[in-house]
């Protein structure tokens, strides 16, 4: 019986995933077994005063509440142990309305934090966009120059 060869002598087979693809991103960051990897990633990109110690994965679908609105499916949604909510979206190629979509997603998650009879003390929502190789915002119209 012959062993499979994997490159040079003694090299073991390894599998790598491109996290800049939608499937690769979800396979790494969306897998609960990789929770520590996600926490480390968030702590690198967030401001120094906002550190994540622990988190829970949340549903990635936000249903529409009326017939006129659409439901949203996020790449990744999680909540820190202090109630802070995070959205992480992967966008590989340029998309005309990406910035508007980011605002809509964050607004829907923010709105989901309000409770009837509450005191309007709603925890913040952080939207983290991982952008691919293209200059996604470079092709936006002049309406975004002042933002």
Mean pLDDT by 10 residues, the chain (147 residues): 50 74 86 91 86 84 81 84 85 79 88 72 84 58 43
Helix (H/G/I), strand (E/B), else coil: 133: coil
Classify residue 17: in a domain, yes or no: no
CA atoms of 71 and 145, how far apart (whole Å): 29
136 assigned to some structural domain: yes
Please name the residue ranges forming H helices in the chain: 22-29, 35-45, 98-111
Assigned domain for 10 exists: no
What are the backbone angles phi and psi of residue 29, rounded to the nearest 5°?
-80, -25
Given this model, what pLDDT does residue 143 score? 46
Question: Considering the domain boundaries, does residue 11 fall inside one?
Answer: no
Range of the domain at 32: 22-144
Judge residue 49's burial from the number of C-beta atoms within 10 Å of its C-beta, 0-12 exposed, 13-18 middle, 19 or more buried.
exposed
7 within a domain of the structure (yes/no):
no
Say if pTM beats, i.e. exceeds, 0.75: no
Asked if residue 41 belongs to a domain, the reply is: yes
Domain count for the chain, please give it. 1
The answer as to whether 79 is a domain residue is yes
């Amino acid at each position: 019986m012959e062993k499979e060869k994997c490159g040079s002598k003694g090299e073991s087979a390894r599998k790598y995933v491109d996290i800049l693809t939608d499937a690769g991103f979800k396979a790494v960051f969306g897998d609960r077994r990789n929770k520590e990897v996600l926490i480390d990633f968030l702590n690198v990109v967030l401001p120094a005063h906002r550190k994540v110690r622990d988190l829970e994965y949340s549903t990635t679908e936000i249903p529409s509440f009326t017939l006129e609105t659409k439901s949203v499916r996020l790449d990744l949604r999680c909540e820190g142990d202090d109630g802070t909510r995070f959205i992480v979206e992967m966008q590989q190629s340029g998309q005309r309305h990406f910035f508007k979509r980011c605002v809509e997603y964050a607004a829907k998650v923010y709105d989901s934090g309000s409770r009837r009879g509450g005191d309007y003390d709603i925890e913040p929502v952080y939207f983290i966009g991982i952008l691919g190789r293209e200059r996604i915002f470079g092709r936006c119209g002049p309406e975004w120059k002042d933002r």
